[in-house]
Homo-oligomer: A and B are copies of this chain.
């Protein structure tokens, strides 16, 4: 890769997510050369992907061009590249655009959908981890209704109007709530020819409560909110297969559906060269020490979702969400500069800022360390925090205006089916 060497140490960062970007920002204007690699030319604000899928926001509003984030930083280089492997012994990153030498390597490749080895579910279900996936899901949801109009076969029509969401973490809960609001507010107007009361939203969770990473109060209240919106919640049910038509589960329950959304888990997006043996833990995350160093190397680091730093409070690593990623990125930035200045590095200490999820208008649950609350105030807090963490002034303004508009009008206008519409029903 034709990036000129300078007298500065070269730090290669793989991934422009929360972890990679917060590290990059820390290293700005320092005497290091930074090369950031990502397979997209933009940073995605993943917590709002479900709003793209449900027509509430436009994709460009929750993403941001990586080059623009880095444009004021000297000594920075971005390359749109797919990393194929890393060779920590020879300091090489192998990509589809060539080989890159590094002095320090930071793996911030995030996480990917975990199908737990079930390739049938992987093939037939929809995921929601990227912008293209979210746009696909948006198209599919709308296509379902267009197709439901065309069939007189009741079973077929019901399957098209049945949405099964697997996994009741924040993603699953937020998506279920948004779909329920669409059912109530938009479908009856948009599809007067359809009996939209038949629309079913099923949320399936393998454990005994939803939002199981949050407090019991949050779980309970979220359940009440969802049920008020008409979402069917199935707890202690494990989905075992889906052939594109029928969902089977560990119990007698089955669902006939054209749409299975898989939000049941994520795993580390590891990279060849550090993806086997001692390097990885349960959940396929790369094991790191308290300085985010990968086992056996001093100059190779992993941060964010892909990294597993074991601690007393979190023996399986920190939760795979934005906060640990952002904090680790910042801390590693400091540590790298310390190291280069031959000062000792500082161990990472996670500041748990809590968790939150929104269910629908005026309905959210928030767990702070010393204060847990639910309802309309939680909803305002949720919105404020998400606006605050969005990158870019324009994005914040556009998202804010969309939210105000959607709130006042009970609407979501980003309802374009952009992909070519392939009909699935035969006639």
Q: Are B416 and A79 in contact (CB under 8 A)?
A: no
Interface size on A, residues (CB 8 A): 59
With A58-B60, A65-B190, A68-B190 already in contact, the answer to whether A40 and B414 are too (CB < 8 A) is no
A71 close to B190 (CB less than 8 A): yes
Q: Which residues of A79-100 are within 8 A (CB) of B?
A: 79-80, 96-98
The reply to whether the CB of A259 lies closer than 8 angstroms to some CB of chain B is no
Q: Tell me whether A2 and B418 are in contact (CB under 8 A).
A: no
Within the complex, which residue of B80, B150, B419 is in contact with A97, where a contact is CB–CB below 8 Å?
B150
CA distance A402 to B3 in the complex (A): 34
Report yes or no: B398 in contact with A394, Cβ–Cβ below 8 A. Answer: no
Cβ of A354 under 8 Å from chain B: no
Question: Nearest 7 A-B pairs (CB), nearest first?
Answer: A60-B414, A67-B190, A65-B415, A58-B58, A58-B60, A71-B189, A80-B146
Q: Are A418 and B59 in contact (CB under 8 A)?
A: yes
Taking the closest CB of chain B, its distance from the CB of A136, in whole angstroms, is 11
Residues of B within 8 A of A152 (CB): 2
CA distance A60 to B412 in the complex (A): 11
Interface residues of A in 356-409 (CB under 8 A from B): 392-395, 397-398, 401-402, 405, 409
**CB pair B97 A415 closer than 8 Å:** no
Residue of B41, B65, B395, B401 near A394 (CB, 8 A) is B401
What are 28 residue pairs bridging A and B, where the CB atoms are less than 8 Å apart in the complex?
Answer: A1-B150, A3-B193, A39-B421, A40-B416, A40-B417, A41-B415, A42-B416, A58-B60, A64-B413, A65-B415, A67-B189, A67-B190, A67-B191, A68-B189, A68-B190, A71-B189, A77-B193, A79-B146, A79-B150, A97-B423, A98-B150, A98-B427, A132-B419, A132-B420, A392-B413, A395-B413, A397-B401, A401-B401
Contact string against B for A residues 30-71, beta-carbon threshold 8 Å, 1 for contact and 0 otherwise: 000000000111100000000000000011110111011001
Other A-B contacts than A39-B421, A40-B416, A60-B413, 8 sampled, CB-CB below 8 A, are: A41-B146, A41-B417, A58-B58, A64-B413, A68-B190, A79-B146, A98-B427, A397-B405
Partner of A41, one of B42, B411, B416: B416
At the interface, yes or no: A321 with Cβ under 8 Å from chain B? no
> A67: which B residues are within 8 A, CB to CB?
189-191, 415
If A64-B413, A190-B67 touch, does A149 touch B394 (CB 8 Å cutoff)? no
Contact of A63 among B135, B416, B421 (CB under 8 A): B416
| Interface presence of A131 (CB below 8 A) | yes
**Smallest distance from the beta carbon of A63 to chain B beta carbons, Å?**
5
Query: Cα distance A143–B40 when bound, in Å?
Result: 11
Closest chain B CB from A393 CB (angstroms): 7
**Complex: how many Å from CA A329 to CA B211?**
53
A418/B80 in contact, CB under 8 A: no
Among residues 321 to 368 in chain A, which have CB atoms less than 8 Å away from a CB atom of chain B? none
Q: Decide yes or no whether A142 CB sits under 8 A from chain B.
A: yes
Q: From residue A30, how far is it (CB to closest CB) to chain B in Å?
A: 17
Q: Which residues of B contact A98 (CB under 8 A)?
A: 150, 427
Contacts of A416 in B (CB 8 A): 40-42, 59-60, 63, 65, 131
Q: Tell whether, in the assembled complex, residue A415 and residue B132 are in contact, meaning their CB atoms are under 8 Å apart.
A: no
The answer on a CB contact under 8 Å between A150 and B2 is yes
Within 8 A of B (CB), among A104-119: none
